[in-house]
Structure 1
Amino acid sequence: MKVASFVHHCEFDVPGNVYKNAIVLGDVDNDNDIELVVGNMEGDLYIFKGQRQIQKISGLGIITAIGIGDLMNCGSNTLIVICGDGWCHIYLCLKLCKSELADECIVKLEPVHVQRIPANTKEVLLGDIDGDGFIELIVGLTDRVIRSYRWAQSAAAGRLVPLHKWECANQIGSMILNKDNEGRPCLLVSQPGATAMRIYCPTTHSDLIESTIKLKNFQSMELRNPSISSEIIGNLKLDGCSECDPNNLTGSFCAISTLDGILMLVKEQVVLWSKKIDQQLFCLKKLSLTDDGPDYLISCSWNGDTYIVDQQGHIVMFQLGESVTAFCSGMYTIKSNEKPVPCFVFITFNHKVFIYYDIKLPKSNLQSLSRYIENDSELLKYMEKMNIYSSTDRKKLIDACLYKYFINCSKNDSEKNDKI
C-alpha cells in the first residue's frame, strides 16, 4: 500500500464535539465559492470561507446534521441545520456585510424559517427523489425511519410539508440518491452487514401505498461481523475502463464500506472487487481529483488514516496522525474567485478543523501491453502489414518480445557482475 503526504492545509478551532454528519461543503452564500459549515453539540454553527471564519451562529441546540441545497426551488442555496430535539433551522443569504478582516463585502446568513420535525435525525439529504424536477429534503432518523419533505411557499410564509415515510429493517448507515439502469431515481439506504435498501418514491399521491421497496443484498463474501454498520456511495463518475462499465451505466455502480474494515465496489449485486483494511472505516465519500476525472473512493478511520482508492482497487493511504470525530471530502475554494480544489476536512477530538487542500496523486494505473497495442493505430497498421491479425498471434509476439527483453537484461546483469 502506498502512502501519500499532503502539505497544503489550514486549521481552525471548533470547541465542542461534532457529529459525523454535522459537517458539509457547499456554496452557502451563492457566490460560486465553496464554503465549509460545521456544527457542534453545544449548538454553535461555524462557517468558513477560504482561510478564515466568516460567521458563527449560536444557541441552536445539539446539531446532528447539516445540508446545503436549493430546498426552496428558487435558484438559491439554503443552509439546513437540524438538531437532535427536532428543530429544523433554515438560513438564506439576504444581505452583504463589511468584513472585519479585509476590505471586502461578504454575505451573512440570516434565519428565514424554523420548524419542528420528528426528533433524532442522524442523516440529511437534498435531492429530487421522485423525478419531478423539484428538490426534496430527506432525513434519516435513529429509529430506522426515513421521511421526505418539500418546501411549500404561500403568500404569507413557507413551510416544510411532509411527503412520505419509510421504515427500514435495521439501523440506517447512510443514504444516497442514485439512478438505476433505466434512469429512474431511487434512494439507497445502507443497512448492517453490507446490505442496502432501495426505495423508489411514488410520483403521484395515489401510488403512495404501492411505493416499491426492494432489499438489495451486496453480501457476497464472509463478513467479520454480519451485523456491523455500513456506509454507501453511488453515482460514481467512472474512468472509462471497459471491464468496469461497458455500457456506461453509472447508476448501477456503488461502493460500500463497513465499520470492520471491508471496502468493495459493486455493480448491481456483483462485487467487482473487495479489500480488507485493518481499520474501522466510519465514513465513505467520493472525490474527483482532476477536472472531468473519475471519482476516487475516500474512506476514513477513527484514527485519522484516510484511504484513497481508485476504481481498480489500488489504495493510497494518508495519515493525519490524530484521531478524528468527523470527516468529509469535496471541493473547497481557498481563494475567492478562483477554482475550487479537492480537499479533505478532518475534525479531531482536540477540537481542531484541518482542511488539506489541493489533493493530488500521481497516475498509478498500469496499462497492459496488449491494451497499449490495441490503442496504438500506427502499431496496428504495422502488425497488419506483417500479417499479424489474430489475438493469438499478437499474444505470441508480445511473449517473444518480453522473453527477449528479459534475456537481454539477464545477460547485461551477468556481464556487469563478471566485471565486478
Structure 2
Amino acid sequence: MRSVSFVNSLKLKVNGKVKQGCIALGDVDGDGCSELVVADEGGLVQIYKGSSAKPWWKSSNFINVGCVVVAVVCNEGRKSVVVFGIDGSYSIIDFNQRGGAVPAAIRSDWVLPNIMNVVVGDLDCDGLNEVVACHSDHCVSAYRWNVKHKRLVRLQRWKLRHLAGNISVHVGSDEGVPSIIVSQPGCSYAVLLINWNQNDTNKSDETMATVKYTPLSSQSRSQNPTITCQILGDITKSSSSPAGYFALCTLDGTIKLMEDDEILWSFQVDHQLFALHKLDILGDKREEVIVCARDGLTYIVDHDRNVVRYQFPDNVQDHPCLVYSDFHNHIWLFYDVRLPFLKATDLVTLAESDREMTQLFAQLGAATLEEKRGLLGKCTKIFHQDAKLDRKVEVVPEHPAEMKP
C-alpha cells in the first residue's frame, strides 16, 4: 500500500476537545469561499477564514454543543451556521445579510434533545430543505423551517432498533430522488422512508414512520454484530449520473463500497476506523472515500479499490477529511491534498507511457520487460555515479595569488 504526505497545512489552537460532528466547512458569509466552523467542549464556537490562524468570529454563548452544520436551513437562499446543543437547543447564525464578522441575526429555539449528527437537504423534492437529526437514543427526527412561526417544526420521527452511528443523504437512482440512510451496528444500515404530510407540518406520528433494515455480511470474515458503524452516501461516481455510491466503515477495520444493495468491494485494515468522508482528491469528477483511524492513519480509496494512506502524526479525536482535531487542543487543516493517482505503479510502466521513452526502447532493442528494467537500472546507476562526481569537483583559482592560506 502506497503512502503519501501532505505538506501545506494550518495549525489552529482551540480551548478544549472537539466532538465528532463539531467541525463544519461551508460558505457562511456568501463570499464564495468556505470557512471552517469549530465548536469545542466548553461551548466556544469559532469561525476561521482564509489562511489566518486567528478566528474571524467567535462566541462562547453556547453550552454542551452536540454538532454544528453550515447549510441553507431557513430556505432563504443563503447558508447559515446552525449550532445544536445536546439539551435540544439550537441557534441559527446568519452573516449574509450584513457582511463582516458581525452576524445579522441569531435565532434560538428548541427541538428534541441528544442530537449528535445533522444533515440538510431537499428530501421530498419540493424545493425546500429539511433538517434531519440523528439522536443518541435510537431516534431520528426530521424538521422544516416554518416561515410563519420562525422556527423548525418537526415533520416525522423514526424509532430504530439499535443505536445509530450517523445518518447521511443518498441518491441511489438516476431519477435523482434522495433517501435517508442511517448506520446500524455490525456494518449494517437502515433506510428511513418519508411519509410526512406537507400540508400539516405539525403532525408527526411515530407509528407512521417506516424503517427498512438492510443487514450486510462481510465476504471475508464474520462481522461483530455489536461493532459501531459509520455510513456516507451520495459518493459521486461520474459527472454524468446523479446516482452515486455509498460507503460504510466499522470500528474493527472494515471498509465497504456499496451500490444499491450490492457490495462492490470490501476489505479490512488493522486499525479502528471511526470517521468517514468523501473528496474528489484526483480532480477527475469522481469522489474518493476518505477513512480515518483513531491513531491518525487516513486511507484514501477510489472506486476500483486502489488505496493510499496518509499518517497524521498524532492521535485523532474527531472529524477527518483533511481537517483533524487532536487530543492537544489543536485543529489541523490540510488544504493542498491533490494526488496525481492512487494506483501503485513502477518506473517501467511510467516509461512505457512516455512517447520518447518508447522510441528509445525500440532504438536500443529493449522489447521484453526484463530488458526494459535492465536498461532503466543502468541509467539510474549512471545518474548516481555522475551525481557523486559532481560533488567531488573542487574549484581551483586560475591565479595562485587568489589562494588564501
**1:20 counterpart = 2:12:** no
Q: How does 1:101-250 map to 2 (within 5 A)?
A: 106-154=100-148, 158-181=150-173, 182-202=175-195, 204=197, 211-221=209-219, 222-238=221-237, 248=241, 250=243
| Aligned partner of residue 108 in structure 1, secondary structure | coil
Query: Could you say which residue in structure 1 is the equivalent of 2:392?
Result: none
How many residues align structurally?
349
1:321 positional shift: 1.0
**Distance apart, 1:293 and its partner CA:** 2.2
The residue aligned with 1:47 is 47
Between the aligned partners of 1:95 and 1:412, the Cα distance in structure 2 is: 66
Deviation at 1:95, TM superposition (A): 5.9
Which of these residues, 295, 315, 324, is aligned with residue 316 of structure 2? 324
1:356 aligns with 2:334: yes
CA distance in 1, matches of 2:130, 2:218: 33
Partner residue, 1:11: 11
Q: Deviations over 1:85-125 (max 9, x none)?
A: 1111111015657xxxxxxxx34335431112222111111
C-alpha contact (below 8 Å) 1:218/1:270 kept by paired residues? no
Q: Distance in 2 between matches of 1:81 and 1:306?
A: 27
- What's the counterpart of residue 59 of structure 2? 57
Q: Which residue of 1 aligns with 2:382?
A: none
1:72 is matched by which residue type in structure 2?
Answer: C
Residue 18 of structure 1, CA deviation: 1.0
CA contact (8 A) 1:220 1:271 kept: no
Q: Name which of structure 1's ranges 254-263 and 195-204 shifts more when overlaid on structure 2.
A: 195-204
Provide, for residues 33-54 of structure 1, a one-character-per-residue CA deviation record: whole Å limited to 9, x for no partner: 1000000111100100012220
Deviations 1:140-168 (A, max 9, x none): 110010111111112xx511111100011
Change (3 A) 1:74 1:193: same
CA contact 2:156–2:209 (8 Å) conserved in 1: no
Identify unmatched segments of 5+ residues in structure 1: 98-105, 241-246, 330-343, 368-403, 414-420
Q: Distance in 2 between matches of 1:125 and 1:412?
A: 56
**Partner Cα distance (1:151, 1:285) in 2:** 27
Residues 1:121 and 1:409: Cα distance change in structure 2 (over 3 Å): closer
Q: Which residue of 2 aligns with 1:80?
A: 82
Amino acid at match of 1:48: Y
Pairs within 5 Å for 1:359-378 = 359-365=337-343
Contact 1:185 1:200 in 2 (8 A): no
Q: Can you give the 5+ residue segments of structure 2 that lack an aligned partner in the other structure?
A: 346-366, 377-405
Q: CA deviation at 1:59?
A: 2.4
Task: Give distance in 2, aligned partners of 1:239 and 1:125.
Answer: 23
- Of 168-177 and 215-224, deviating more is 215-224
Give the Cα–Cα distance (whole angstroms) in 2 for the partners of residues 2 and 122 of structure 1.
Answer: 34
Partners of 1:228 and 1:259 within 8 A in 2: yes
**Distance in 1 (alpha carbons) for counterparts of 2:333 and 2:157:** 36
Instruction: Please tell me whether the aligned partners of residues 95 and 107 of structure 1 are also in contact (alpha carbons under 8 angstroms).
Output: no
TM-score by length of 1: 0.77
> Bigger radius of gyration, 1 or 2?
2
- Which residue number in structure 2 is paired with residue 89 of structure 1? 91
**C-alpha distance after superposition, 1:225-249 (max 9, x if no partner):** 2210111112111158xxxxxx957
For 1:112 and 1:411, how far apart are their aligned partners in 2? Answer: 69
Question: SS state of the match for residue 196, structure 1?
Answer: strand
SS in 2 for 1:28: coil
Q: TM-score, normalised by structure 2?
A: 0.79
Structure 1 counterpart SS, 2:314: coil
Distance 1:408 1:19, change over 3 A: closer
Instruction: Give 1 or 2: higher strand fraction.
Output: 1
Change (3 A) 1:303 1:358: same
Maintained 8 Å contact 2:27/2:70:
yes
Q: Which amino acid aligns with 1:219?
A: S
Q: Deviations over 1:198-231 (max 9, x none)?
A: 0121253699765542112232433452210111
* Alignment check: 8 A CA contact 1:24 1:328 kept: no
1:141–1:410 distance in 2 versus 1, CA, 3 Å: closer
The verdict on how the C-alpha distance between 1:219 and 1:410 changes in structure 2, with shifts beyond 3 A counting, is: closer
SS of the aligned residue for 1:7 comes to coil
Q: Distance in 1 between matches of 2:155 and 2:94?
A: 23
- 1:408 positional shift: 5.7
1:266 pairs, out of 254, 258, 282, with 258
- Residue 179 (structure 1) shift: 2.1
How far apart, CA to CA, are the structure 2 residues paired with 1:279 and 1:165? 35
Counterpart contact for 1:296–1:309, Cα < 8 Å: yes
Q: Which residue of 2 aligns with 1:289?
A: 281
11-20 or 287-296: bigger deviation: 287-296
- SS of residue paired to 1:271: strand
Structure 1 residue 411: Cα displacement: 10
**Once superposed, what is the RMSD of the aligned Cα atoms?**
2.8
